[in-house]
C-alpha cells in the first residue's frame, strides 16, 4: 500500500477526531495533531486545557518561533511516520498545510457540519475545560476569534469536502471513498 497523508480541518465539533480515530482503527494508521504540543506544554505547566490557554500559547509560540513553527513540525512528523495512513488533525490556517502540501500523497480533507450539530457534539464530548457549560450564544461568539475565523476559508483549498450532518455510517462511507480513490 502506498503512503497516504490526510490533513483534516473543520470548525470545532465537526468530527475531525471521529474521522481521525476511524482512519487509525480501520486502516491501521496513526494520527498527529497541531494541538498535541500545546496540550503537552499546558499539562507540564499545570494549566487548564482551555480553549483560551491553547489559543494564547499558540499565539505566543508562533510569535517567538515563527508563524510556521507548527507547520514544519507536523510536516516532519507525517513524513517520518512509518504508517501507510497518516492523519494530521486540526489545521487552522492555510500556512498550517503549506509544508504538508509539498509531501507526496498528501490529501487535504475539510469536514463540514451545521452549527447546531457541532454545538451539541462539543457540549457532549466536553473535551476542553468549560465546554459542557457553554451556551449556544457563547459557542457562536467563539467563531469570531482569530483562531476559529481562519478555518472556514480552508474549505476552498480542500481536495475533498465531507459533510458530517448524518449518521456515523454515512461519515465512514465518505471516508472509505476517499481511501479507495487514493490507495485502493
**CATH code of the domain covering residue 170:** 3.40.50.300
pLDDT tens track for 156-168: 999 999 999 999 9
What predicted TM-score, i.e. pTM, was given to this entire model? 0.86
Q: Are 9 and 110 in contact (CB under 8 A)?
A: yes
State the pLDDT at residue 18: 95
Give the whole-angstrom CA distance, residue 92 versus residue 94.
7
Residue 21: closest CA among 10, 8, 36: 8
Residue 179: closest CA among 102, 98, 86: 86
Position of cell 481511501? 179
Q: What is the mean pLDDT of each run of 10 residues along the chain (184 residues)?
A: 90 94 97 92 95 90 94 94 96 92 95 91 80 80 75 96 96 96 83
User: What is the total count of domains within the chain?
Assistant: 1
- Which domain range does residue 129 map to? 4-183
Amino acid at each position: 500500500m502506498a503512503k497516504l497523508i490526510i490533513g483534516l480541518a473543520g470548525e470545532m465539533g465537526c468530527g475531525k477526531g471521529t474521522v481521525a480515530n476511524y482512519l487509525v482503527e480501520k486502516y491501521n494508521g496513526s494520527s498527529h495533531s497541531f494541538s498535541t504540543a500545546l496540550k503537552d506544554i499546558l499539562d507540564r505547566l499545570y494549566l487548564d486545557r482551555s480553549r483560551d490557554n491553547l489559543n494564547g500559547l499558540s499565539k505566543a509560540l508562533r510569535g517567538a518561533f515563527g508563524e510556521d513553527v507548527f507547520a514544519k513540525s507536523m510536516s516532519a512528523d507525517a513524513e517520518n511516520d512509518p504508517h501507510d495512513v497518516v492523519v494530521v488533525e486540526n489545521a487552522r490556517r492555510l500556512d498550517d498545510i503549506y509544508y504538508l502540501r509539498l509531501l507526496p500523497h498528501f490529501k487535504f480533507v475539510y469536514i463540514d457540519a451545521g452549527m447546531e450539530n457541532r454545538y451539541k457534539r462539543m457540549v457532549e464530548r466536553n473535551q476542553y475545560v468549560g465546554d459542557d457549560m457553554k451556551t449556544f450564544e457563547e459557542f457562536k461568539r467563539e467563531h469570531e476569534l482569530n483562531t476559529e475565523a481562519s478555518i472556514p476559508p480552508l474549505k476552498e483549498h480542500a481536495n475533498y469536502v465531507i459533510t458530517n450532518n448524518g449518521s456515523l455510517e454515512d461519515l465512514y462511507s465518505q471516508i472509505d471513498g476517499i481511501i479507495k480513490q487514493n490507495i485502493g
